[in-house]
Amino acid sequence: MPPSCLRIGLIGLGIVGSEVATRLLQHREAYRRRTGVDLVLERVLVRDPVRPRRVALPAGMLTARPEDLLDDPQLEVVVEVAGGEEPARTYMERAIRSGKHVVTANKVVMARHGPALLELAGRANVDLYFEAAVGGGIPLISTFKVDLLANQIERVVAVINGTTNFVLGRMADAGLGLDAALAEARAAGYAEADPSEDVDGWDAAAKLAIMASVAFLARVHPDCVYREGIRGVDPIDFRYARELGYEVKLLALAARRDDSLEARVHPVLVPHGHPLASVQGARNAVYVEGDLVGQVLLQGEGAGGRPTASSVVGDLLDLAASVRRRVEVRSAPRFDDELTVLPMDEVRTRAYFRCRVVDGPGVLAAIFSIFGEEGVSIASAIQKESDGRWAEFVVTTHPASDAALRRTRERVSRLQVVHSVGSFLRVL
Ligand SMILES: NC(=O)c1ccc[n+]([C@@H]2O[C@H](COP(=O)([O-])OP(=O)(O)OC[C@H]3O[C@@H](n4cnc5c(N)ncnc54)[C@H](OP(=O)(O)O)[C@@H]3O)[C@@H](O)[C@H]2O)c1
């Protein structure tokens, strides 16, 4: 059989696009031998085609005209690694409608429009791959789509934002405040000038929406994901957490609860001994529980040009294999429209409260009576430090509804004998 050919248009030649282009150009022959398909990089779309590039492309390959890719009937696949919601989403839709396969690393588009684009691709009989949109080089999407397909997935718990994991690690290990830890993250190339996407949990919520959509075959929009960032974590909490046997992590959690789903991103006290407690630096890790497989842990580099290119080119090679097999029918996933996200109020979780209270008799009784009235049962209560007038007091609870836990926090903080509830964190 003569080798088939897959002609590729690449949108974006930045951190990820440069690595993808380099790999395709340098490994063309090896990939042709491996798959029996010639992966040919034909055109590359950028904003500024005269700017010097890190990768040397054959003359005439660069363009700033989207139609050079999107309206070229010779191109069979468009690789979108430009980023942002628009015009990336429109380009992907146009490519799909004109019968081109799409490979993307774009978490914003896939989180907000993934199910609709996947259904469109199914109707157009083309493939839409997005392994690189979550977890950089970690094979997550293909793991859910292929290797864990036999399972009912029960739970996905992830350290999925490298920037905040690095920052929380530095706060825990070096006693830094948030701003100092962020400055270190910036110097190490892990944080943007404006870190709010990471610090406020937006990035993790988008990635969780994508993972939950694939793992549970539900339409989980990022706006449905409950989200709290790491701004409320105080350096003292890391010390107390460690004394109690926990690490503080920003977790993305999705879980099946009867006919609904939990989907939430917030800081969590993770017990020492849990695999996610020891995820260091900017690495990512995803812990999955399936009814057949049990527990699975996937971890690795969650960002960076080369790990992300590994996922993008991996998707292209999988597409090449399907071209080689002459796959004729490509269907969309069937989403379960009954499976909706549970309001955070109804989620049951454990919590950690740190309160500053008057150091005197009767204070704890007043606090505990509120816990009792709200039906929140106390697992541990420890007085930490006292300056004679105020005492620091840490409580952990047994599982209760998040609404009851937050009402408890609110009512305790209004007590005259309470200076403040300094921290309120959930416990895994
Ligand atoms: N970097 C990572 O570690 C990483 C990890 C996982 C996923 N991703 C995702 O991968 C994608 C690319 O990220 P990146 O870090 O490679 O971005 P980047 O370095 O900023 O590069 C973006 C590229 O896209 C081009 N571009 C942007 N808007 C365009 C438009 N409207 N029309 C044509 N070209 C356009 C830019 O052109 P010019 O060069 O002319 O400006 C540039 O070449 C994003 O979706 C990102 O979320 C990145």
* Alpha-carbon span 338 to 115, nearest angstrom: 15
Give SS3 for 123: helix
Which segments of 188-224 does DSSP mark as H helices, in order?
196-199, 202-216
Its pTM surpasses 0.85: yes
Residue 418 backbone dihedrals phi, psi, to 5 degrees: -110, 125
**Residue to substitute in 10, 13, 16 for testing ligand 1 pocket (most ligand atoms within 8 angstroms of CB):** 16
**Averaged pLDDT, 315-341:** 93
Q: List, for residues 262-276, the tens digit of each pLDDT value.
A: 999 999 999 999 999
CATH code of the domain occupying 143-301: 3.30.360.10
**To the nearest whole number, what is the mean pLDDT of the chain?**
96
* Alpha-carbon span 337 to 231, nearest angstrom: 34
Nearest residue (by CA) to ligand 1, atom 44, is 83
* Alpha-carbon span 384 to 36, nearest angstrom: 66
Answer whether 135 contacts ligand 1 (Cβ < 6 A): no
Protein fold of 344-427:
Alpha-Beta Plaits (3.30.70)
Return the pLDDT at 205: 98
How far is CA 170 from its chain centroid?
21
* Alpha-carbon span 426 to 253, nearest angstrom: 12
Return the pLDDT at 338: 92
- CA 423 – ligand 1 centroid, Å: 37
pLDDT of 383 above 90: no
CATH 3.30.360.10 positions along the chain are 143-301
- CA 17 – ligand 1 centroid, Å: 7
Return the pLDDT at 161: 97
Q: List, for residues 62-78, the tens digit of each pLDDT value.
A: 999 999 999 999 999 99
- CA 373 – ligand 1 centroid, Å: 53
Residue 276 backbone dihedrals phi, psi, to 5 degrees: -80, -15
Tell me the percentage of the chain whose pLDDT exceeds 70: 99
Nearest residue (by CA) to ligand 1, atom 14, is 15
Give SS3 for 294: strand
CATH 3.40.50.720 positions along the chain are 5-136+305-324
Q: List, for residues 189-227, the tens digit of each pLDDT value.
A: 999 889 999 999 999 999 999 999 999 999 999 999 999
343: which DSSP letter? P
Give SS3 for 116: helix
For residue 294, what are the β-bridge partners?
290
Indicate the pLDDT class of residue 52, thresholds 50, 70 and 90: very high
Return the pLDDT at 385: 78
pLDDT of 1 above 60: no
Return the pLDDT at 166: 97
Q: List, for residues 105-126, the tens digit of each pLDDT value.
A: 999 999 999 999 999 999 999 9
Give the CATH class of 5-136+305-324: alpha beta
Report which ligand 1 atom has the smallest distance to the Cα of 13.
43
Return the pLDDT at 389: 87
CATH 3.30.70.260 positions along the chain are 344-427
